[in-house]
Structure 1
Amino acid sequence: MPESAARRQARNSAAFWAATAESRGHEVVRRRGFLAAVGDERAGTRFLLQEPDLDADELAELTGLARGASGPVDAEDPFSATDLGHLGMRNWQMPVMVREPGPVAAPAMEVVRVHKPQELQDAERMVIGGFGLGRFEPYRPGEMFPDALLEQPGVDVFLAVLDGEPAGACVTVVDEGIGSHYWVGTPDTFRSRGVGRAVMLGSLAPLADLRVTLTASKLGRPLYESLGYTALAESTWWASN
C-alpha cells in the first residue's frame, strides 16, 4: 500500500505541474522516471519523481536541467528513493496521505469554485501569502495562476470567503480517477478561524466519490487526519538553497 500511495501521488503531482507549466507557457520534460516543469527565474524548475529507480541517463539529465535552471529548483520524490544531495539541495520529509471515498460535511463559510479572473487573482494572492512565496513578489497578477490554468483538464481552483473577503484557497486535480489537493493556503490574517478546514471541505465535496491524496505539512497533518486522511508513505522534498 505505501508504494501504491506514493505512485498515485507521483502521477497526480506530475499532472498538476504539467498543467501549471503549460498554462504558463513553460517547457515540460517527460521521462519514464521523472517529469520536469522548466520555468523562469521566478517560477523556477520543479521535478516530480515518477519511479523509485531512475537510471543513470535519467539522473544525469535531471542533474543537467537542475544545474542549468534559471531560478529556484524544487523536487518531489514520493518514493524517498533518489538521492539528490549532489545538487547541494536541502531536503525534508512529509507524509503522503490518502482519503477513501466518503461523505463530506458542509463548510462553515462560503467556498466558491473559481471561474472569474478576479476570483483567480484572489486565490493566487491567498496562496502566495499563505505560503510566503517571495519568489512571486512583487506581485504580478496571473503569474502563478494564469487564466489558462482553469482551462486545463481536471484542474479546479477554490476560494474561501470570510466576511466578504478572500481568506484562503486551494487547487484540486483529478487525473486517472484520483483526486489530489495542492496549495491549501491561508494568509496569517485569517489563520485560526477555520478557513483551512472550510476550503478543504468545499473542495472535497466534488471529489467525495473518489480516492483523494495529498502531501501534508507538519502543521496541516492534524486537519487532514480530522477529515479522514491517513498517512501511508513518506515523500522526500528537495529545494535549492
Structure 2
Amino acid sequence: MRQARNSAAFWAATGDSRGHEVIRRRGFLAVLGGERAGTRVLLQESDLDVRELAELTELAGRSTGPVDIEDPFSSTDLSPLDMRSWQMPIMVRPPGPVAAPAMEVIRVRRARELETAERIVIDGFELTGFTPCRPGEMFPAALIEQPGVDVFLAVLDSEAVGAAVTVVHDGSGSHYWVGTPSASRSRGAGRAVMLGSLAPMADLPVTLTASRLGRPLYESLGFTAVTASTWWSSR
C-alpha cells in the first residue's frame, strides 16, 4: 500500500508538471501523456469494481502512445487488454543510518542539472519514446517544485554519472528512475546516488520496485523484498 500511494503521488506530480491530464479514482490513478509519454496507470486498490475496470480499459484503448499499468497488489487480471506482463519485487528499507557515498551527490536545483538527470535516465532506461531528447519534456522544471519530489545526481571527476528521483509522501519515501548512462556503468554511480538520496530519508521507511539487475544493490543497502508487483505494458 505504501508503494501504491507513493507511486501515485510521484506520477501525479509528474503529470501535473508536464501539463498532462491526471485522473483520480478510488481504485487507480491515471496520467494521460500523449503519443511520446503514453498513458500510465497506478492501481491503488486490490479490488477494482466493474466500472473502474471498464474505465481503465477505455483509457488504455484510446491512448495515442504506449500504455503501462502497475499493480502492486498483483490481484487484478488485465490479460483481456492483450498486454505483456511481468513481475518485479517491491522492496522496503526500514528507517536507519545511511553510509556516506563514495562520490559527490547533489540535489538538483538548476535547469541544466535537471536536463542532465533527464538525459541520464533516458539513456540508462533506453526510453526510446523520449528520443530524440527534448530537454524538459520528461523532467520539466516544475517537477522539482512539486511537494516531496527531489532529483539527485552523482558526480565523479566533474561528470554526472548517475541520477535518481525520490518522493516523500504520507510518512514514507520511495525511489524512481535510479540509473546511470551506458558509458558510465560499473563505476559505483548507482550505489552512490542511492546513498546520497537515501540520506535525507534516513528516518523514514523507504520502498522501491526493483529490476532484476538492481535487486542485489538494493539488498546491500538494507532493502528487503516483501511482495511482487505485476506490470502490464503495451510496449
Q: TM-score range by the shorter chain?
A: over 0.9
Q: Match for residue 3 of structure 1?
A: none
Cα offsets for 1:82-138 (capped at 9, x unmatched): 111111110000000000000000000111000000000000001000000000001
Q: Match for residue 234 of structure 1?
A: 228
Question: What amino acid is aligned across from residue 123 of structure 1 in structure 2?
Answer: A
Q: Match for residue 169 of structure 1?
A: 163
Cα offsets for 1:140-162 (capped at 9, x unmatched): 00000000001100000001111
Question: What amino acid is aligned across from residue 138 of structure 1 in structure 2?
Answer: P
Question: What amino acid is aligned across from residue 22 of structure 2 in structure 1?
Answer: V
Deviation at 1:187, TM superposition (A): 1.4
1:86-105 to 2 correspondence within 5 Å?
86-105=80-99
Give 1:210's match in structure 2, choosing from 204, 209, 225: 204
Distance 2:210 2:132 in 1: 27
Give 1:27's match in structure 2, choosing from 18, 21, 24: 21
Q: Match for residue 138 of structure 1?
A: 132
Question: What amino acid is aligned across from residue 56 of structure 1 in structure 2?
Answer: V
Identity %: 74
Distance 1:228 1:55 in 2: 37
Deviation at 1:40, TM superposition (A): 1.0
Cα offsets for 1:22-70 (capped at 9, x unmatched): 0000000000000001111001100000001000000000000000001
Distance 1:88 1:39 in 2: 20
Question: What amino acid is aligned across from residue 121 of structure 2 in structure 1?
Answer: V
SS at match of 1:42: helix
Cα offsets for 1:181-237 (capped at 9, x unmatched): 000011111111100000000000000000000000000000000000000010001
Give 1:60's match in structure 2, choosing from 54, 63, 68: 54
1:114-125 to 2 correspondence within 5 Å?
114-125=108-119
TM, length-normalised to structure 1 = 0.97
Distance 1:102 1:236 in 2: 28
- Give the number of equivalent residue pairs: 235
SS at match of 2:34: coil
Deviation at 1:79, TM superposition (A): 0.3
Distance 1:160 1:143 in 2: 22
Question: What amino acid is aligned across from residue 37 of structure 2 in structure 1?
Answer: A
1:75 and 2:69 are equivalent in the alignment: yes
What is the Cα-based RMSD across aligned positions, in Å? 0.5
Q: Match for residue 150 of structure 1?
A: 144
TM, length-normalised to structure 2 = 0.99
Distance 1:164 1:102 in 2: 30
Question: What amino acid is aligned across from residue 107 of structure 1 in structure 2?
Answer: P
Q: Which runs of 4+ in 1 moved over 6 A?
A: none
Structure 2 unaligned regions, length at least 5:
none
